[in-house]
């Protein structure tokens, strides 16, 4: 198809340019014509030379008065400048000097007496006005791409000039338009009154009016969102056709587990639990996302599902991002699920990379024979050697730490597609969640258990360090424990960051009468687990750590946390860290010690984290700061990159796109109808068949 034509067949593109295009992610005709300007310049309004201000981009029309091509004499040629072409341009109000470096050929084009349009930034040189390397066009050239119209500006690497890309896209469009397919079917375009592909491409690159540009952009935003939603619903349609394992929900078992808890479930937990239980008893697999802020009690809800699965004689797997978390979950699950009437301790096990070879072999065997009912593990769970007898349920904790592909590997270990529950502590606005995770059902725990006290957050500077240490001493004397978090384990000469190893010594000296422990990701698995156990048993008072404690570590008595160089951490990460100390009824304190000169971005992050403890607000602000592309990352949802759409900004369009995509797939799940032919073609071609796999 025409859209697949490689770029080297386009006029003006040689092997070097093609390579540079490839580096920008463009490989074929379609990639190029879909490379949209990120902004426009209105080059229709001329300024008089007398009105020019310094450092302003302006368009000027005038008559060329003088031209001069200076060739640098050989001895004066610096490596870069070999010639300078200078002109004086005059209008009825004044004149301006323009110059171009190493473009001697201009001498043949820009001649005295011609009327010329230039666009560029004016400056002052030798008391006169000057413009260096402006874009130019002869004013009798009505077809100029660079002046006299609204002109697109593209994000480019240094290999390309704006002029070159404009010209190349125009050549590509001339070919492309002869035989291109409109991915959006006529009926959908008509419904929303959107221009067709030919007009839209013209208008997005070379708009005649602002309105044309706007309509074209809207169409492409819609197109992008529409196809992301088509994918989501294709996935969902496929999922609904899976045959699942119908689990029997034993009321007595639910009651038994409930009695084992030392607290009562909150009303949100109860509601979510009933949604999950009803999923488990259906004839197709559960596929549910459970969202809830750090510490709201997601694990316990998952525990019921795991228990019910085991009661039905099926196996369940819980995947977590860290070893410590795996062990912690094992302990709490054993507490809740084992004992009289429940599972034995031996049927709830952990697998991680630091378990001995011999034990691992045993786990493989017990899993395959079905002796293990619940397995908790890190990435080790998705190794090839892991085989289940009858996997019935998969739970993914902290789902943002895993990619779609990794999660899928675990699901595939079931002989029948297992029930799936993915849990996330990054609550995102519902409309957005529906769109990105539209193939999942969504549950939200909106409130944390009663009695939790939000941390008091203090944002301090290095000179207040002694005050902080005194504060810590006070807390330790009251019997509380403290975390101190560092951005790096060891010093790095390039950066002035506090390192854990260096500070461990300082902290040990400062708090002589207390026990100080060290914890980081490079420690051996067993060592890590022992350290956390010691912290739990209060044999360690101050834990000096990296962010490995970020997820899951659950120690109620540790209620103060200091974070060094917090400007180095993301919002979500800071919020997760703070979650570690909001687990009891003591007042928690979260203390940030930042360096002095912070970037605007860092300032905003630290301001947000100091202002609120509400995970929903923090997630929303984070999204705004980073933009959805960076916030989600392709890995997590497996949808194509959004290039022009921004689901946050384009929420209304997204809703429309979602509804139309939903209807399309509902009426024609395999896209076989004649009116959906173009959608199918587009989806097949664009994703080269990959979309069916995920």
Task: In angstroms, give the least distance from the CB of 450 to ligand ADP.
Answer: 7
Helix (H) or strand (E) holding 621: helix 615-637
Closest CA to 641 of 651, 632, 650: 632
SS3 content of the chain, % helix, strand, coil (to 5): 45, 20, 35
Residue with Cβ nearer ligand ADP (280 or 445): 445
299 binds ligand ADP (CB under 6 A): yes
Dihedral sign (CA 116, 122, 127, 132) = negative
Residue with Cβ nearer ligand ADP (121 or 260): 260
Contact 525, 354 (CB under 8 A): yes
Residue with tokens 């019935």: 392
Chain-centroid distance of CA 223 in Å reads: 21
Among positions 296, 395, 561, 606, the unique one binding ligand ADP when judged by CB under 6 A: 296
Task: In angstroms, give the least distance from the CB of 525 to ligand ADP.
Answer: 21
Residue with Cβ nearer Mg ion (299 or 646): 299
Task: In angstroms, give the least distance from the CB of 300 to ligand ADP.
Answer: 5
Residue with Cβ nearer Mg ion (57 or 263): 263
Helix (H) or strand (E) holding 510: helix 500-510
Sequential DSSP letters for 469-493: HHHHHHHHHTT-EEEEE-SBSS--T
Cα distance between residue 492 and residue 497, in whole Å: 8
Which residue of this chain has its Cβ atom nearest to Mg ion in the complex?
299
Helix (H) or strand (E) holding 360: helix 357-369
- CB-based burial label for 392 (10 Å; 0-12, 13-18, 19+): buried
Contact 86, 68 (CB under 8 A): yes
Contacts with 442 (C-beta within 8 Å, 6 or more apart), sequence order: 288, 289, 291, 430, 433, 434
Site string for ligand ADP, 530-569 (x = CB under 6 A): ------------------------x---------------
Stretch that binds ligand ADP, among 113-121, 265-273, 334-342, 364-372 (CB under 6 A): 265-273
296 binds, among Mg ion, ligand ADP, none (CB under 5 to 8 A by kind): ligand ADP
Q: Phi/psi zone of residue 453: left (φ > 0), alpha (ψ -120 to 50 degrees), beta?
A: beta
Cα distance between residue 218 and residue 647, in whole Å: 13
Task: In angstroms, give the least distance from the CB of 327 to ligand ADP.
Answer: 14
Task: In angstroms, give the least distance from the CB of 632 to Mg ion.
Answer: 20
Stretch that binds ligand ADP, among 215-223, 236-244, 288-296, 406-414 (CB under 6 A): 288-296
328 to 273, 282, 542, 584, 672: CA distances (angstroms):
22, 31, 20, 17, 50
Task: In angstroms, give the least distance from the CB of 324 to Mg ion.
Answer: 12
266 binds, among Mg ion, ligand ADP, none (CB under 5 to 8 A by kind): ligand ADP
Task: Go through the chain and tell me how many residues it has.
Answer: 694
414 binds, among Mg ion, ligand ADP, none (CB under 5 to 8 A by kind): none
Q: How many residues bind Mg ion (CB under 5 A)?
A: 1
Residue with Cβ nearer Mg ion (96 or 396): 396
263 binds, among Mg ion, ligand ADP, none (CB under 5 to 8 A by kind): ligand ADP
Stretch that binds ligand ADP, among 54-62, 213-221, 298-306, 513-521 (CB under 6 A): 298-306
- Strands 315-319 and 456-461: what pairing? unpaired
295 binds ligand ADP (CB under 6 A): yes
Task: In angstroms, give the least distance from the CB of 666 to Mg ion.
Answer: 35
210 binds ligand ADP (CB under 6 A): no
Per CB under 6 A, contacts with ligand ADP among 414-443 are 425
Residue with Cβ nearer Mg ion (99 or 582): 582
Among positions 244, 292, 392, 438, the unique one binding ligand ADP when judged by CB under 6 A: 292
Task: In angstroms, give the least distance from the CB of 453 to ligand ADP.
Answer: 13
- Strands 94-101 and 57-71: what pairing? unpaired
300 binds ligand ADP (CB under 6 A): yes
Cα distance between residue 660 and residue 232, in whole Å: 12
Q: How many residues bind ligand ADP (CB under 6 A)?
A: 16
Among positions 449, 454, 570, 640, the unique one binding ligand ADP when judged by CB under 6 A: 449
Which residue of this chain has its Cβ atom nearest to ligand ADP in the complex?
297
What radius of gyration, in Å, describes the C-alpha atoms of the chain?
32
- CB-based burial label for 638 (10 Å; 0-12, 13-18, 19+): buried
Token pair in block for residue 445:
């725990």
578 binds, among Mg ion, ligand ADP, none (CB under 5 to 8 A by kind): none
62 binds ligand ADP (CB under 6 A): no
Cα distance between residue 429 and residue 264, in whole Å: 28
Contacts with 22 (C-beta within 8 Å, 6 or more apart), sequence order: 7
Dihedral sign (CA 153, 159, 163, 165) = negative
Residue with Cβ nearer ligand ADP (144 or 299): 299
Residue with Cβ nearer ligand ADP (445 or 540): 445
Contact 331, 299 (CB under 8 A): no
Task: In angstroms, give the least distance from the CB of 452 to ligand ADP.
Answer: 8
Residue with Cβ nearer Mg ion (422 or 518): 422
Cα distance between residue 59 and residue 609, in whole Å: 45
Contact 546, 488 (CB under 8 A): yes
Residue with Cβ nearer ligand ADP (216 or 613): 613
266 binds ligand ADP (CB under 6 A): yes
Residue 553 CB coordination number (10 Å): 23
Reduce the DSSP state of residue 200 to 3 states and report it.
helix
Residue with Cβ nearer ligand ADP (116 or 549): 549
297 binds ligand ADP (CB under 6 A): yes
Residue 351 is given by DSSP the state E
Per CB under 5 A, contacts with Mg ion among 421-480 are none
Residue with Cβ nearer ligand ADP (377 or 647): 377
319 binds ligand ADP (CB under 6 A): no
Stretch that binds ligand ADP, among 75-83, 200-208, 290-298, 471-479 (CB under 6 A): 290-298
186 binds ligand ADP (CB under 6 A): no
Per CB under 5 A, contacts with Mg ion among 280-309 are 299
Task: In angstroms, give the least distance from the CB of 402 to Mg ion.
Answer: 14
CA angle 117, 123, 125 (to 5 degrees): 115
Closest CA to 232 of 437, 27, 36: 437
Contact 305, 421 (CB under 8 A): yes
294 binds ligand ADP (CB under 6 A): yes
- CB-based burial label for 674 (10 Å; 0-12, 13-18, 19+): exposed
321 binds, among ligand ADP, Mg ion, none (CB under 5 to 8 A by kind): none
454 binds ligand ADP (CB under 6 A): no
263 binds ligand ADP (CB under 6 A): yes
Residue with Cβ nearer ligand ADP (116 or 303): 303
294 binds, among ligand ADP, Mg ion, none (CB under 5 to 8 A by kind): ligand ADP
Task: In angstroms, give the least distance from the CB of 55 to Mg ion.
Answer: 53
Give the interface with ligand ADP as residue ranges (CB under 6 A): 263, 265-266, 269, 292, 294-300, 425, 449, 554, 583
Give the interface with Mg ion as residue ranges (CB under 5 A): 299
């Amino acid at each position: 198809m025409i859209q697949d034509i490689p770029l080297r067949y386009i006029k003006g593109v040689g092997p070097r340019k093609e390579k540079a295009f490839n580096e920008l992610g463009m490989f074929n005709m379609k990639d190029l014509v879909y490379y949209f300007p990120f902004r426009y310049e209105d080059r229709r309004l001329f300024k008089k030379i007398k009105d020019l201000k310094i450092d302003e981009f302006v368009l000027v029309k005038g008559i060329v008065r003088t031209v001069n091509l200076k060739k640098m004499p050989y001895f004066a040629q610096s490596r870069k400048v070999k010639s300078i072409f200078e002109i004086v341009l005059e209008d009825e109000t004044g004149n301006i000097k323009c110059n171009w470096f190493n473009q001697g050929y201009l001498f043949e084009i820009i001649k005295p007496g011609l009327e010329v349009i230039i666009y560029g930034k004016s400056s002052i040189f030798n008391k006169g006005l000057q413009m260096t390397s402006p874009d130019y066009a002869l004013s009798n050239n009505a077809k100029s791409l660079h002046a006299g119209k609204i002109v697109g500006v593209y994000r480019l690497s240094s290999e390309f000039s704006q002029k070159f890309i404009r010209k190349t896209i125009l050549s590509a469009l001339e070919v492309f338009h002869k035989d291109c397919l409109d991915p959006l079917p006529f009926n959908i375009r008509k419904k929303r009154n959107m221009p067709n592909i030919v007009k839209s491409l013209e208008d997005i690159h070379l708009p005649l009016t602002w309105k044309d540009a706007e309509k074209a952009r809207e169409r492409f935003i819609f197109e992008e969102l529409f196809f992301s939603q088509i994918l989501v619903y294709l996935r969902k349609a496929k999922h609904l056709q899976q045959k699942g394992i119908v689990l029997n929900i034993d009321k007595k078992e639910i009651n038994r587990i409930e009695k084992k808890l030392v607290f009562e479930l909150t009303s949100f937990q109860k509601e979510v639990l009933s949604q999950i239980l009803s999923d488990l008893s259906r004839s197709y697999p559960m596929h549910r996302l459970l969202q809830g802020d750090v510490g709201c009690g997601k694990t316990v809800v998952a525990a019921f599902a795991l228990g019910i699965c085991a009661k039905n004689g099926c196996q369940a797997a819980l995947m977590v991002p860290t070893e410590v978390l795996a062990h912690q979950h094992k302990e709490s699950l054993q507490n809740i699920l084992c004992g009289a009437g429940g599972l034995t301790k031996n049927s709830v096990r952990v697998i991680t990379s630091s378990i001995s070879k011999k034990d691992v072999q045993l786990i493989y065997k017990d899993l395959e024979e079905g002796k293990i009912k619940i397995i908790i593990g890190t990435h080790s769970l998705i190794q090839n050697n892991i085989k289940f007898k009858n996997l019935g349920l998969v739970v993914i904790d902290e789902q943002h730490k895993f990619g779609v592909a990794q999660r899928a590997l675990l699901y595939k270990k079931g002989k029948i597609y297992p029930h799936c529950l993915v849990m996330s502590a990054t609550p995102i606005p519902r409309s957005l969640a529906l769109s990105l995770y539209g193939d999942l059902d969504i549950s939200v725990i909106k409130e944390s258990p009663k009695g939790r006290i939000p941390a008091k957050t203090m944002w301090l500077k290095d000179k207040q360090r002694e005050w902080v240490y005194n504060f810590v001493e006070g807390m330790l004397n009251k019997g509380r424990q403290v975390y101190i978090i560092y951005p790096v384990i060891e010093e790095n000469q390039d950066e002035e960051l506090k390192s854990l190893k260096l500070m461990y010594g300082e902290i040990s000296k400062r708090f002589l009468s207390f026990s100080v422990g060290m914890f980081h990701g490079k420690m051996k698995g067993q060592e890590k687990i022992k350290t956390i156990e010691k912290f739990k048993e209060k044999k360690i008072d101050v834990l000096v750590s990296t962010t490995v404690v970020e997820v899951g570590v659950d120690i109620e008595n540790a209620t103060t946390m200091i974070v060094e160089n917090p400007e180095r951490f993301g919002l979500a990460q800071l919020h997760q860290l703070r979650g570690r100390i909001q687990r009891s009824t003591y007042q928690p304190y979260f203390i940030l010690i930042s360096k002095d000169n912070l970037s605007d971005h860092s300032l905003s992050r630290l301001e947000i984290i100091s202002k609120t403890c509400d995970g929903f607000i923090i997630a929303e602000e984070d999204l705004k700061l980073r933009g959805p592309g960076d916030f989600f990352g392709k890995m997590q949802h497996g949808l194509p990159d959004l290039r022009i759409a921004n689901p946050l900004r384009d929420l209304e369009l997204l809703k429309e796109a979602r509804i139309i995509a939903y209807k399309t797939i509902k009426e024609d799940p395999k896209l076989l109808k004649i009116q959906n032919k173009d959608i199918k073609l587009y989806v097949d071609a664009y994703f080269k068949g990959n979309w069916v796999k995920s």
